[in-house]
Structures are given as structure tokens and as C-alpha cells.
Amino acid sequence: MKIAIATDDRQSIAGHFGRCRGFEIVDVEDGTVNSKEFRENDFTGHARGMQGHHGDKHSAILDALQDCNTVISHGMGRRIYTDLQNAGIDSIITRETHIDQAIDAYLSGDLEDYPEQGCNHSHHRH
């Protein structure tokens, strides 16, 4: 099983899925972390410099993370949350901020999902 975790520093969970620097891809087998790899975010609409989501069907994101079973972020838009779910990838918006603690909680079944904390894109880019 592979878990993709949105991150800016490979230690903490990024606040926004689409704007993160990349994804820590954690390969887990029988409850044990086998390996971690970092995938640079060059595939989300935000990473590609798109303003808004006009015409963005999230296909690049879904293709880039298609080998993952679960995606964990501290925040993401409702559309990508649903698109991931529809592609068979569990989406989790967590309040946890540290990657290793989130992995442990996920593997023990204790990582809670807070979809209501999703980004509504009413914020402005800084």
C-alpha cells in the first residue's frame, strides 16, 4: 500500500494539497514502512501556475498519484477531495501536522478525516 502525504519539508504535512512542494510517498506492507520517496509537485494546477480551476479536471494529479491508495493533507479543495475518492484513492484531511505521527495514526486506524476543513479557494495567493 502507498500513502501520499502533501508536504513542503518532508517532515510536516502541508496546509494545502495543491500548493505543496511535493508528496512524501510512503510504501507500507504488513503495517511496516518499507520505504519513502519524494515526488516533486509539478502536476497540480497550482504548481503549473494555473489561476483558478477553469477547465482543470485534475487528470495530472490523478495520474501522478494513481499508484497510491491514500492521500493525506492538512487541507484540500472539495473537488480534488471528491475526484481522488472517485478514482479509488482515499482522501484524508487531517489535523495532524507531523508526517510520521500521521502514518502511525493511519496504520492504527486512528487518523481522523475532517473533510469540512477543506479549502474553499476563497483565499488569496501570497
pLDDT in tens, 82-107: 999 999 999 999 999 999 999 999 99
Long-range contacts of 102-107 (CB under 8 A, 24+ apart): 102/5, 102/13, 102/72, 103/3, 103/5, 103/26, 103/28, 103/33, 106/3, 106/70, 106/72, 107/28, 107/31
All structural domains of the chain with their residue ranges: 2-117
Grid cell 478525516 is found at: 113
Q: Which of 30, 37, 28 is nearest to 103 (CA)?
A: 28
pLDDT grade for 52, boundaries at 50, 70 and 90: low
Q: Classify domain 2-117 at the CATH topology level.
A: Nucleotidyltransferase; domain 5 (3.30.420)
Which pTM was predicted? 0.85
User: Of all helices (H) and strands (E), which one includes residue 73?
Assistant: strand 70-73
